[in-house]
Structure 1
Amino acid sequence: MKNLFLFLTLLVLSVSVNAQDKKTVESDSTKITKLDEVLLSATRAKDKTPVAFSNITKEELESINLGQDLPVLLDQLPSVVTTSDAGAGVGYTGIRVRGSDATRVNVTINGIPYNDQESQGTFWVNMPDFVSSVEDIQLQRGVGTSTNGSGAFGASLNLKTLNPSTDGYATTTNAVGSFGTRKHNISIGSGIKNNFYAEARLSNIQSDGYIDRARADLNSYYTEAGFVNEKTSIKAIVFGGKEETYQSWYGTPEAVVNNDLEGIQVFIDRNYPSDAEAENLLNSGRTYNFYTYDNEIDSYQQTHYQLHASHQFNAMFSANISGNFTRGKGYYEQYKDDEELGDYFPNNANASDEGDVIRRRWLDNNFTAIVYSLNYQKDNLNLYLGGGYNSYKGDHFGEVIWDSFEAPIPVRSNYYFSYGDKQDFNTYLKAEYNINSNLFALLDLQYRTVDYESVGTSSDLLDINVKKTYNFFNPKMGLTYRINNYSNVYGSYAVGNREPNRDDLTKNPITPVSEQLHDFEFGYKLQNSNFYLNANLYYMDYKDQLVLTGDLDDVGDPIRQNVADSYRAGIEIQTGYKLSDQFRIDANATFSQNKIKAFDYIVYDTQYDPNTYDTVSYEAVVTTYEDTDISFSPNVIFGSTLTYSPIKNANIALLSKYVGQQYLDNTSSDSKSMDGYFVNNLNLSYRIKPTWIKEVAFNVLVNNVFNNKYVSNGYTYSYFYRPENSNDAPITENFYYPQATTNFLAGVTLKF
């Protein structure tokens, strides 16, 4: 890695010398940009599209792109809530939109699906510093327009990588900050020479994390080469990353977060930890991490190969086709004490032996995708015929790499194995029509079919043989009416369907069914030179929605269950005003209700013999809650950015975020919730352009400037464990993910 950084540094200096003599040809750059946009024209929303969306450019991200993951950088967008397991925004991070978690946010990169095909989640830790290679990002809220990959049930996040630069360039960013956080990257580009170009980036991000031992060592790269002229663009992209992250998904017990010594002792008394574990609970404070084994890590490597071709046949016809192959492989390592040999090798003659174990659970997968769109434009009509085919194959297996069992066991042989096979095909026809100068219509029809098969045994040695086929029809339609040159109104109706994920199908005691969403949106937009206002009303009516129960399985994955009827309804408001040449303010707010009409809450009642501690009875206790709140869905979300520009090229921005109370499960219980929080970050940036270099940029980000102690995520579970014939109440355990107190990141970017 050090040698590669040295090589790229020398290349930076070489490119920067050549770049001084380049002259940008604006007309050529505009043509190239327009042709490059053909790649995503079918799936992106435009100004007239009757859906709720936000665009964010690379320039808007530059001053805060100092090492934190992409979800954290999008925290100021409407209806967005973000969280970080390690507390400082580096490592495993998450995003929710309108209360919907990342498994329900469709993510594409250059139109290629990025969500994991089995879990449906997104793991940005596998692509650290990817924002440094992004041209712009579009977040569509609700069902949005037709896209590739898994169905959007909360939002679609569409990333477009950098447009080819007409001139050669070189850029390097170096940043340091609290908790040992540091970021270093180098980017270079050849510029377009005889219609050919090449670009590359190499990055390293490290952090010790706010939570104890929650370190991260993240490496990534991005390379692109292509050919472009006025009618044709061909680009080959290879990017990927390797991460090693110390696990911190266990969370922190509520009493520890609150520094409640009496509560901590009660927690210890009922959970029987070892002496070392009890000492950890009593002495760690809110940065507590359950894991203490030196190598309790998650290690994963992922490589993406993309090939894109776009062509403008004539003034009316254009087309693009893209291919992708993703290779991923990695494991997480765990130390487990007092295990039974039979939990790993049940047929061993010494299955009852007990000992300590170090195990690795592996995922080895391949993902292939082909997406396309044919575009026709004439007069007032735009037609898009598009779609894609995805194929995923993934192996899940576990191995014991060390043990203290008396009986010998086969080291590194699989103690469980299963594979998943998913085939996903979709096609859509989208028509955009300007009925007259004031009225715009959209009709978008998508058909999607999914085949999923899982064969083998789970990590609990249970059979998980599943074979399912789903067929979905997803129509979308809407109108936009231009009131005048400054304002318009729109309305839309869309249907979304979505299949359960692997864990839903293999871990739930009741086999889940697919979900359906009817999304109604109505909005108003006003914009002039100094002011803008967007207001969007939405009503998302779900059938058989898979909602989070608040509990996690033994590897930190959330557990979900179907609910027959539920909805999310609210209003989203965005506004901005330029008060003067020095001051401007931008703000957004979401006010919503997120309800389940009837929810069956299950607690398992275990009664034991007080003399032998043997189980006497075990049964499910069901309580039905009506018109109850959906978990992790705050009724109020507010964000604002106040920007002051005291001198040219200098900005001081105060970024504020308020997130209302969130429930950990679906019982609307205050005792199982997270308090609302209000956090403020300060962003300072200053750019200079000396004669010897194109630009030097200084950026500082001070997070949580008022030192607010808050939590942004958590989970809960309840259980009975009581003597026979006792009427004791159930026990509830709440765990939270504390976020960092005041911390900073500071960086310098050199552009040649």
Structure 2
Amino acid sequence: MNLVQKSMFTALITLSTASVYYAQSVKTDTLSKENAIDEVVISGVADIAKDRKTPVAVSTIKEAQIVEKLGNQEFPEILNSTPSVYATKGGGGFGDAKLNIRGFAQENIAVMINGVPVNDMENGAVYWSNWAGLSDVTSAMQVQRGLGSSKLAIASVGGTVNIITRAADRREGGRVSLGVGNDGYVKTGVAYNTGKNAKGWSSSFLLTRTGGSTYASGTQFEGYNYYFALGYQKGKHDFQFTLTGAPQYHNQRSYEITLQTLIDRGSMDRPDRRYNQQEGVLNGKEYTFRRNYYHKPVMSLNWDYKISPSSKLSTVGYASFGRGGGTGDLGSVGGKRASAFVNADGLTDFDAIIAANAASTPDKGVLIRRSSINSHNWFGLISNFNHKINDNLNFSVGIDTRYYHGYHYQVVSDLLGASAYKDYSNQNNTPNYVSNTFKANPNFNPFGGKVNSINDQIAYSNDGEVLWYGGFGQIEYSNDRISAFVQGAVSNQGFQRIDNFIIDGGTTLNGKVVSATNQPSATNPLLYKKTGFKNLVGYNAKGGLNFNIDEHSNVFVNAGYYSKQPFLNAVYPNNKNFLNPNLTNEKILGFEAGYGFRASWLNANVNAYRTNWKDRFLRRTQQINPGGGLPIINAYANIQGIEEIHQGLEFEAKSKINDIITINAMFAVADWHYNGNASGTLFNETNEPIDDNGNVVASGQAGVRTLYLDKIKVGDAAQMTGSLGFTLTPVRDFKFDASYRYVNHLYANLNVLNFSDQTAAAKGALELPSYGLVELGASYKFRLPNKKQSFTVRANVYNLLNTYYIQNSYTNTFAGDKYSTGVTYKGIDTGNQVFFGFGRTWSTTVAYNF
């Protein structure tokens, strides 16, 4: 921390300490329901933790806080004031945020909307750009750290983020808003709620448009968000229908950049943290090889049926239809890949690429922009029956069924002056000269099947099917002082891979129905188009106890065990129709204990946890620098047999001193590390095993290397975080808030090349410099003569002190290593590939409420 940051942090601590003594003599409103979600929301099948009752570590963020503090930040960043949460902007493109809880990435965090899981069913990914409008319709967001209280057999290794949207029957009213921010950010929106009429009908709608650029260079974007809810209540029945979607495109910054490059473009004190090596100019406009575009409308129908005073049935049916993908470079011209075409400004020289393509032919080789399509159809049904046996005991049973069909292939996005692209990938049509191009823009009509002919597809074309069905049950006991639960869930996931470029031999092999015992392999290489479904059973069991010591204090404990099915890329690795011979479920064992204090002036929680995760499979993208001026090689690694231990302590508190001052504090410290070694294999873009220099090896086994991970720190998330902030409301309609967030013990990410050498691995994971950030915000509400109408003005400044900080590193390079430069920046070798966080940014919003 520099002197200014230390002074501010000291002042906030002093203010916080003084508040405790002052609060004891001041009559204030209670904070005892701070974690409660009591607004009119769609809850249905959602498992919402109840304060002083549900024995889990939980934090709740209300709608008002989201509206006030989010501004032009990424949606998950609102959680950075929550213990053990590390949310960043990723590469900095619109919607490219990354969320990490207790050291677990978002692929292993269950993200749910109104109790419905939204993690990708093939790989667990969460693409926040697909949900860019959630902040506009969220009534509350509850973070349950650890295994959580959800009854479903979901992948909540690190935690559960349950986003609760507003229901159709909110009170009548509307809002028109205009927001502006740094780098041309503009957001406009309109929303209206009809309220519930005498016949039980209600509706709500919202429409927004957001555009501009982020702080990072070359990140233009445009996105829309629509939301419609229709409700009907009559007697024992409550129906809620919702439809929402967020069609968008955004230019990206996909790969971390070496520190030395950023220093060369700026200075040692001020590296060029905006630089985007994928950016360029074409026809006078911003153009890039990396552009994401998608449209994923989601619709759901919730039905709550109050069968009797003691019995209730909650059911939700849902469907989503995602269409879109992301672009990148493909091919080479004159023996040069895209990374070789750089102009004097360090940007991609698209004019030079077009000239080179014009001088070549498809047979000699051309360089194009391709689109990797990642579309899907997804259907699901969740139903939960709850029965109250008596005043203290109740039970729930239910089902969770889902079907997912993903479409994955590439098409030509831009020929960049070439006449066609020559492709050998489709066995049914080789060679294939492809000249049709498809713009990288979202499809506003995403329903239906594939949108491109197989003759227009290049490189690969495969479908992934996931069939999921499961059941769950829970028994819960509660009285005035004790609440306890026992849960269990079991699910079957069936995975099938369909390779459309293989000459179709049917779904049988050697006259037998395809099964786990007669799959193709390296010794039996016969391929078929469909693999047949590989069924994997998983289960979990959880239990917990909460004891209210008195009206102020409570303690809780919980424990759980998960046998979690791996993702599709672990079932059929290497992008082939070969079943993984080492396939096994991942095992997660978690323990947690906590203490809570509730009073009129203070809410406080302290938690301790330990999670052990065994038999993990991980696929990582990898950039290989062969040196000698040769182009960078894009590759990926399959890593098997990972074991991780995550343990730590968490503290959070909120103190309302009086009607003027409220103080928030959070602190978390952890030890996340690997236990034992693992094995990893590198593959190039054509799925051939390669060595550390990118050379193809003779066989798959030759590419396997031991990763020396024992006791190595888990990277990509800070193992110590803290924040302290206050809100001042000196007069009725004016509010001012400030916060300071501190990040320490942040390590570089797992990288196959760094840890396959035992000598290099002995140096451990690279620890990045600590940093602290200051945020400010203020708002004022202008009340109009008509009491139902008002104007609200809100302004936010993020990273007020314009601090330079590294938010993550992809590499673990130390002095003397292969890619070391011998130069350091804040103790970090400048050969490391990193992303800096954004500098000072700002946003302001004016809203008319009626």
Structure-2-length-normalised TM-score: 0.74
Q: Deviations over 1:438-475 (max 9, x none)?
A: 2221111111211111121799xx98976532212211
Shift in alpha-carbon separation, 1:619–1:508, aligned structure 2, 3 A: closer
Shift in alpha-carbon separation, 1:432–1:43, aligned structure 2, 3 A: same
Q: Deviations over 1:481-518 (max 9, x none)?
A: 11101111111111123222234445569756331111
The answer to whether residue 670 in structure 2 is matched with residue 573 in structure 1 is no
Deviation (angstroms), 1:437: 3.5
Deviation (angstroms), 1:712: 1.7
- Aligned residues of 2:604 and 2:652 also touching (Cα < 8 A): yes
Where do 1:165-564 residues align within 5 Å? 165=169, 167-193=171-197, 194-229=199-234, 231-259=236-264, 285-293=272-280, 294-296=287-289, 297-336=291-330, 338=332, 353-377=364-388, 378-401=390-413, 402=415, 403=418, 409-412=433-436, 413-415=456-458, 416-434=460-478, 436-456=479-499, 467-507=533-573, 513-546=584-617, 551=622, 561-564=639-642
Task: Give the structure 1 partner of residue 627 of structure 2.
Answer: none
The whole-number CA distance in structure 2 between the counterparts of 1:691 and 1:668 is 70
Q: Deviations over 1:195-220 (max 9, x none)?
A: 10111000111131211111221111
Report how many aligned residue pairs link the two structures: 679
Name whichever of 304-313 and 621-630 sits farther off. Answer: 621-630
Partner AA of 2:782 in structure 1: I
Deviation (angstroms), 1:644: 1.7
Task: Give the structure 2 partner of residue 164 of structure 1.
Answer: 168
Task: Give the structure 2 partner of residue 85 of structure 1.
Answer: 90
RMSD in angstroms over aligned alpha carbons? 3.5
The whole-number CA distance in structure 1 between the counterparts of 2:612 and 2:739 is 33
Where do 1:22-171 residues align within 5 Å? 39-40=44-45, 42=47, 44=49, 46-87=51-92, 90-148=94-152, 150-165=154-169, 167-171=171-175
The whole-number CA distance in structure 2 between the counterparts of 1:62 and 1:374 is 34
Where do 1:599-614 residues align within 5 Å? 599-600=677-678
Q: Deviations over 1:190-244 (max 9, x none)?
A: 1111210111000111131211111221111000111024532111111101110
The whole-number CA distance in structure 2 between the counterparts of 1:485 and 1:630 is 40
The whole-number CA distance in structure 2 between the counterparts of 1:33 and 1:625 is 46
Shift in alpha-carbon separation, 1:427–1:214, aligned structure 2, 3 A: same
Shift in alpha-carbon separation, 1:523–1:75, aligned structure 2, 3 A: same
The whole-number CA distance in structure 2 between the counterparts of 1:493 and 1:340 is 60
- Aligned residues of 2:152 and 2:472 also touching (Cα < 8 A): no
The whole-number CA distance in structure 2 between the counterparts of 1:603 and 1:677 is 35
SS at match of 1:179: helix
Task: Give the structure 2 partner of residue 10 of structure 1.
Answer: none
Task: Give the structure 2 partner of residue 597 of structure 1.
Answer: 675
SS at match of 2:44: helix
Shift in alpha-carbon separation, 1:198–1:649, aligned structure 2, 3 A: same
Shift in alpha-carbon separation, 1:167–1:336, aligned structure 2, 3 A: same
SS at match of 2:64: helix
Name whichever of 555-564 and 391-400 sits farther off. Answer: 555-564
Name whichever of 403-412 and 198-207 sits farther off. Answer: 403-412
SS at match of 1:354: coil
Q: Deviations over 1:708-743 (max 9, x none)?
A: 111223313889xxxxxxxx9633663222221111
The whole-number CA distance in structure 2 between the counterparts of 1:669 and 1:620 is 22
The whole-number CA distance in structure 1 between the counterparts of 2:741 and 2:82 is 10
Shift in alpha-carbon separation, 1:329–1:50, aligned structure 2, 3 A: same
SS at match of 2:434: coil
Shift in alpha-carbon separation, 1:623–1:70, aligned structure 2, 3 A: closer
SS at match of 1:628: coil
Partner AA of 1:100 in structure 2: F
Deviation (angstroms), 1:43: 5.7
SS at match of 1:255: helix
- Aligned residues of 2:804 and 2:839 also touching (Cα < 8 A): yes
Partner AA of 1:539 in structure 2: R
The whole-number CA distance in structure 1 between the counterparts of 2:708 and 2:190 is 56
Deviation (angstroms), 1:694: 2.2
Deviation (angstroms), 1:632: 2.0
Q: Deviations over 1:236-260 (max 9, x none)?
A: 1111011101121122222133448
SS at match of 2:126: coil
5+ long unaligned stretches in structure 1: 1-31, 264-282, 344-349, 720-727
Shift in alpha-carbon separation, 1:249–1:492, aligned structure 2, 3 A: same
Query: In structure 2, which of residues 783, 786, 793 is the aligned counterpart of residue 689 of structure 1?
Result: 783
Name whichever of 529-538 and 467-476 sits farther off. Answer: 467-476
Structure-1-length-normalised TM-score: 0.83
- Aligned residues of 2:665 and 2:725 also touching (Cα < 8 A): yes
The whole-number CA distance in structure 2 between the counterparts of 1:607 and 1:174 is 51
Deviation (angstroms), 1:164: 3.4
Deviation (angstroms), 1:48: 0.7
SS at match of 1:95: strand
SS at match of 1:285: coil
SS at match of 2:279: coil
Task: Give the structure 1 partner of residue 661 of structure 2.
Answer: 583
Shift in alpha-carbon separation, 1:212–1:440, aligned structure 2, 3 A: same
Deviation (angstroms), 1:311: 1.6
SS at match of 1:257: helix
Q: Deviations over 1:374-409 (max 9, x none)?
A: 111231112111231010001111123524569781
Shift in alpha-carbon separation, 1:641–1:546, aligned structure 2, 3 A: farther
Deviation (angstroms), 1:533: 1.6
- Aligned residues of 2:399 and 2:472 also touching (Cα < 8 A): yes
Shift in alpha-carbon separation, 1:369–1:81, aligned structure 2, 3 A: same
SS at match of 2:587: strand
Query: In structure 2, which of residues 755, 770, 774 is the aligned counterpart of residue 680 of structure 1?
Result: 774
The whole-number CA distance in structure 1 between the counterparts of 2:115 and 2:382 is 7
SS at match of 1:287: coil
